Chain A
Amino acid sequence: MFTYYLDLALRSLKRNKVLTALMIVAIAVGIGASMTTLTVMHLLSGDPLPGRSQYMFYPQVDPDPNPGENHKPWDMMDYRSALDLWSAHRADRQTMITSSAVRMTAPGVNQPALMAQMLSTTSDFFPMFAVPFRYGNAWKAQDDASRARVAVISADLNNKLFHGEDSVGRTLRLKDSDVRIIGVLAPWRPSPQFYTVAGGRYSNGDTAGFYSRPEDVFMPFQSSLEVNAGGFQPFTCWRVPDDMTDLRNSPCLWVALWVQLDTPAKVDAYRRYVASYAAQQKALGRFVHADNTDMPSLMQWLDINQVVPSDVRLQTWLAFAFLAICLFNTIGLLLAKFLRRAGEIGVRRALGASRGAVFAQCLVEAGLIGLLGGLGGLMLTQLGLWLIRRQPVEYADLVHLDPLMFGLTFALAIAASLLAGVLPALRASRITPAIQLKTL
């Protein structure tokens, strides 16, 4: 029966090519617009650490003594607090993070000096965030303690300086110090670059920068402070610091702490630990707002920072409003199409077709239009994504159509056209055969 309906639908579509084309184009344009924006949304709002993100937490304390500001804790910590919490090793894994720009050359490589983005971190960073290695290894906990002059570099930098060869054992000159490369990462592109996300609530929705590439150089935290002394910039300061070249004792926030907690019990225990640390610091006179602590999980922290740029969200809303208008349009056109065939439907009903059969036949026709519209929509989605890839935005290289979104395109197109077809099909199935036969 289905193939018969399909045959009828094809004949019907061929009979009025202009109307058919109008409907297919309307659905294709609506689907193309919505799927393009939805794909970007899907890529930008995804989990950067699938399967592990629920174990990652971002403890926050408030060392800012200024009164009256009843806000959430600042986005980063001062050095003292971060170091105290990190050194306590109360979590399953913990890592301190801060980033800076450093002047870099590679001895024996004929390239001018450049400013490299450097992530200062600790040994747990790599296993904690499952960072993939191409050559060599990460440094060990004792390298953190002994302030070893070692570095891990990104795949991009390795390609640029060493043409992708195994560069473990070679030397980088960072500012005035020689640093030995002990590891090279495999291509790694978390989306967003979650571990340095901060300050999203002050960005007016312009958060595309959170999707930039990871840093080129990774160094043990303490060694990097020595190597790039004076090169660190604070997130903010609660008063003007006396000395901007050494932020360690400054009234500035510039270090982030990530912890991995594998069970809910450990999460509760760590929350209590952070609170007790803040209370202890208040007793010591260093904190004023000791009760202002928090510990969002990774995904909560991304939400707080509203990592998906507001323009992308606006585009998605717009695309769906557009799809809705296209749907109304299709409903109207389908209604016109079905009712125009009232005579034919009357004959079928008179020959014994039930209402259900007429309804099913009309829906098959609507579904076929959806399928064709979906094909067109898929092409338009690819075109839309290609256009986005050509835009100078940080996430341009991430944009692609994955199988899930590929399937969703057709599902959405067919669902939309079936939805649009229900009302006209219902109308068509209610046609009274007698009147139609009389007017034939």
Chain B
Amino acid sequence: MQIQPILAALRRHRLATLLITLEIALACAVLSNACFLVVNRVQQMHVPSGVDENALAVLKLTGYDPANSADLNARVLSGLARLPGMQSVDVINAVPFGYHAGTAGISTDAEGKRQAGVIDFYVGGPGSFKALGLQLVAGSPPQIGDYQPIKRFLPEDSTVWVTRALADHLWPGADPLGKEFWTGKFHFRVGGVLAHLARPWGGEGGPSTIEWSAYVPAQPGAQLAGVYLLRADPADLPRVLRDARAAIATIAPDAVVDSAASQTIATLRDNYFRQDRLMAGILVGVMLALLGVTALGIVGLASFWVQQRRRQIGIRRAIGATRGDILRYFQTENFLIVSFGIALGMLLAYALNLLLMHYYELTRLPLYYLPIGALALWGLGQLAVLGPALRAAAVPPVVATRSV
């Protein structure tokens, strides 16, 4: 197949060629970036929470008198534990994908000079560590003596369990066991490292800080009340949660159930990523529409060219070109145009990515997205041109003899 005559023919249709090239370039740029955004969102949606999501639910009470917290804890813990199917009830301050409660900045020195970012503290009563189903990668689980009373906010001096992500951030390359950090006057010593534990509200520093969290064992009391972690068999969980919400009316008539916050962790996760799911759906829709519109453009222009060149095709056929030659001519032509478009599109994709990085929390576009976009467009181009090219190949040689 000779490329020279095709290029010569394209040079005579500079404007149309330029248009279709630009369309493909723009499509390539938008396509690869949109694809990257979708993958990003989907990755965020699959962040591990580190807890047994399917077996856990949370019940949040508000409106009670803080002076009665200890009494409320006692009534709720004993009352809910009696419900059929309930495996455990524990006091906790927050759960992954729920409302955040223990968010504070930490430092790796007692004076607060070496600030190390804002993390989330999960403060849980005895039993909550086991109920959450946290996975240890180093150290041992909290002992009963680790659960200390809270005077305000957090226990003043306690052993904590940090996630591997937080440990890597605070002490890269070092063994985190026994290391210390501070929040104001509060002192923490690492007693174990957790495989995963997602913080409640995503994280202030963007998706990369989603696992900056620590588990602090503490005794329920005035400073730790009102939020309860329910554990049940996944099949029973929705019913157990419903029963628990109903039972509060008799167990704690002085409190109001926060309906929006009292959900299974699976539901909370679902709600938390609703926007991301929606956005990923929109992006996929736009990508499909984009491919469709681009294909239509190629079909339209190729059809026009086929019609315009009927006579030339007839002549070529008359002097010996086979149907395959004609077919391949249009396919090669399309391949060349799409290749120009892709070359330009890769540059555009990169520029668009820089723009997105400037305005949004987005990392650099990995280079392997570019060939993916290119392959998609090449395939699309060949598919779109097939119809008009077949029509061109069907032009009979006799056309050449008519009305010249």
Q: Which residues of A contact B360 (CB under 8 A)?
A: 205, 310, 314
**Cross-interface CB contact of B26 among A30, A114, A321, A332, cutoff 8 Å:** A321
A340 contact set on B, CB distance < 8 A: 304, 307-308
Tell me which of A22, A66, A208 contacts B300 (CB under 8 A).
A22
Mark contacts of A234-249 with chain B using CB atoms, 8 A cut-off: 1 yes-contact digit, 0 otherwise.
0000011111110000
Assembled-state Cα–Cα distance A427/B19 (Å): 14
Question: Is B63 a contact partner of A393 (Cβ separation < 8 A)?
Answer: no
With contact pairs A321-B30, A328-B26, A332-B301 given, residues A206 and B289 touching in the complex (Cβ less than 8 Å): no
Which of B278-286, B325-333, B394-402 is near enough to bind chain A? B278-286
When the two chains form their complex, are residues A19 and B300 in contact, meaning their CB atoms are under 8 A apart?
A: yes
Q: A332-B301, A335-B15 are in contact. Are A115 and B258 (CB under 8 A)?
A: yes
Let me know if B20 and A332 touch, CB within 8 A.
yes
Within the complex, the shortest CB–CB distance from A314 to chain B, in Å, comes to 7
Question: A240: shortest Cβ distance to chain B, in Å?
Answer: 5
- 1/0 contact trace for A312-331 toward B, CB 8 Å? 01110011011011101101
Tell me the nearest residue of chain B to A333, going by C-beta. Answer: B300
Closest to A229 in B: B66
State which of B50-58, B178-186, B225-233 sits at the interface with chain A.
B178-186
| Binary per-residue interface labels of chain B (147-158) against chain A in the complex, 1 for a CB within 8 Å, 0 otherwise | 000001110000
Of the stretches B123-131, B168-176, B290-298, the one at the interface is B290-298
Given A22-B296, A113-B256, check contact A240 B184 (CB 8 Å): yes
A contact residues around B183 at 8 Å (CB): 240
List, in ascending order, chain B residues with CB within 8 A of A282's CB: none
Q: Which residues of B contact A103 (CB under 8 A)?
A: 62-63, 256
Q: Quick check: B202 and A204 within 8 Å, CB to CB?
A: yes
Closest B residue to A314 by beta carbon equals: B360
B307 contacts across to A, CB distance below 8 A: 340
In the complex, whether A391 has a CB less than 8 A from a CB of chain B is: yes
| Cross-interface CB contact of A329 among B154, B185, B294, cutoff 8 Å | B294
* Interface assignment of A392: CB less than 8 Å from any CB of chain B: yes
Judge whether A239 and B184 touch: CB under 8 Å: yes
Nearest CB to that of A319 among chain B residues? B286
Q: Kindly identify which residue among A175, A318, A392 contacts B274, using a CB–CB cutoff of 8 Å.
A: A392
Q: Are B304 and A242 in contact (CB under 8 A)?
A: no
Whether the pair A242, B152 counts as a contact (CB closer than 8 A) is yes
Known contacts A101-B62, A115-B256, A325-B293; decide if A335 and B19 are in contact (CB<8 Å): yes
How many interface residues does B have (CB within 8 Å)? 51
Min distance, Cβ A15 to any Cβ of chain B, angstroms: 13
Q: Is A202 an interface residue (CB 8 A)?
A: yes
Establish whether residues A311 and B279, one from each chain, have CB atoms under 8 Å apart when the complex forms.
yes
Our pick among A26, A115, A391 for the contact of B63 (Cβ within 8 Å) is A115
Which single residue of chain A is at the shortest CB-CB distance from B104? A240
Cα–Cα, bound, A85→B16 (Å): 67
CB contacts under 8 Å to B, within A411-431, are: 423, 427
Residue A339, interface by CB 8 Å: yes
Question: Which residue in A29, A240, A242, A324 is a CB contact (below 8 Å) of B289?
Answer: A29
With A113-B63, A240-B152, A326-B293: A339-B304 Cβ-Cβ less than 8 Å: yes
Select one of A19, A240, A324, A335 contacting B185, CB under 8 A.
Answer: A240
Per-position binary interface string of chain A over residues 284-328, scored 1 when its CB falls under 8 Å from any chain B CB and 0 otherwise: 000000000000000000000000001101110011011011101
A-chain residues with CB within 8 Å of residue B186 when the two chains form the complex:
240
B27 within 8 A of A: yes
Give the distance in Å from the alpha carbon of A244 to the alpha carbon of B225 in the complex: 14
The answer to whether A362 has its CB under 8 Å from any CB of chain B is no
Q: Give Cα distance in the complex from A337 to B303, angstroms.
A: 11
Query: What's the count of A-B pairs with C-beta under 8 Å?
Result: 130
Report the separation of the CA atoms of residues A243 and B259 in the bound assembly, to the nearest whole angstrom.
28
Q: Which residues of A (324-372) have their CB < 8 Å from a CB of B?
A: 324-326, 328-329, 331-333, 335-337, 339-340
Interface flag for B34 (CB, 8 Å): yes
Contact with B along A38-75 (1 / 0, CB 8 A): 00000000000000000000000000001000000000
Q: Which residues does chain A contribute within 8 Å of B22, judged by CB atoms?
A: 328
Most chain A beta carbons < 10 A, residue from B202, B286, B297: B297
Q: Which of B66, B104, B274 contacts A230 (CB 8 A)?
A: B66
Question: How many A residues face the partner with a CB closer than 8 A?
Answer: 55
Q: Which residues, 107 to 152 on A, are CB-close (under 8 Å) to B?
A: 113-115
CB neighbours (8 Å) of A66 from chain B are 112
Q: How far is the CB of A141 from chain B (nearest CB, A)?
A: 31
Task: Report B-chain residues with C-beta under 8 Å of the C-beta of A241.
Answer: 152
Task: Check A322–B296 contact: CB distance below 8 A.
Answer: no
Contact with A along B205-220 (1 / 0, CB 8 A): 0100000000000000
What separation, in Å, do the CA atoms of A340 and B16 have in the docked complex? 13
Closest B residue to A19 by CB, please name it.
B300
- CA A278 – CA B92 in complex, angstroms? 41
CB 8 Å contact bits of A189-210 with B (1 = contact, 0 = none):
0000000000000101110100
Q: Report the minimum CB–CB distance from A381 to chain B (whole Å).
A: 15
Interface 1/0s, chain B 265-286, versus A by CB < 8 A?
0000000001100110011001
Is B204 part of the contact surface with A, judged by Cβ < 8 Å? yes
Question: Any chain B CB within 8 A of the CB of A33?
Answer: yes
Bound Cα distance from A325 to B359, whole angstroms: 22
* CB atoms of A315 and B282 under 8 A apart: yes
A321 to B360 Cα, complex, angstroms: 17
Pick from B30, B202, B206, B278: contact of A325, CB under 8 Å = B30
B290 and A325: CB pair below 8 A? Answer: yes
- Among A19, A315, A332, the residue within 8 A (CB) of B23 is A332
Q: Shortest beta-carbon distance, A306 to chain B, in Å?
A: 10
Q: How distant is the Cα of A125 from the Cα of B397 in the complex, in angstroms? A: 85
Cα distance A436–B15 in the bound complex, in angstroms: 20
When distances are taken between beta carbons in the complex, the residues of chain B under 8 Å from A332 are 16, 19-20, 23, 297, 300-301
What sequence of 0s and 1s flags, for each residue 90-117 of chain A, a beta carbon within 8 Å of any chain B beta carbon? 0000000000011100000000011100
Q: How far is the CA of A89 from the CA of B352 in the complex (A)?
A: 50
**B63 touching A311 by the CB < 8 A rule?**
no
A185 to chain B: closest CB distance in Å? 24
Please give, as numbers and ranges, the residues of chain B lying within 8 Å of A204 by CB-CB distance. 202, 204, 206, 361
Chain B residue nearest in CB terms to A22:
B296
A328 close to B19 (CB less than 8 A): yes
- What is the CA–CA distance of A329 and B23 in the complex, to the nearest angstrom? 7
Name the residue on B nearest A102 (C-beta). B63
Chain B residues whose CB sits within 8 angstroms of the CB of A29 once the complex forms: 289, 293
Kindly provide the distance from the CB of A389 to the nearest chain B CB, expressed in whole angstroms. 13
- Min CB distance, B65 to chain A, in Å? 8
Query: Is the Cβ of B202 less than 8 Å from the Cβ of A26?
Result: no
Neighbour of B283 across the interface among A30, A239, A318, A331, CB < 8 A: A318
Partner of A115, one of B30, B34, B62, B202: B62
Task: Encode B134-177 as 1/0 by CB contact (under 8 A) with A.
Answer: 00000000000000000011100000000000000000000000
Can you name 12 A-B pairs with beta carbons within 8 Å?
Answer: A19-B300, A33-B286, A230-B66, A240-B153, A242-B152, A314-B37, A321-B26, A329-B23, A329-B297, A333-B301, A335-B16, A340-B304
What would 9 more interface pairs be, CB under 8 Å, given A33-B286, A311-B279? A240-B185, A310-B360, A314-B37, A318-B34, A318-B283, A325-B26, A329-B296, A335-B301, A336-B300
Closest 7 CB pairs of A and B: A103-B63, A336-B304, A328-B23, A329-B297, A333-B300, A332-B19, A321-B30
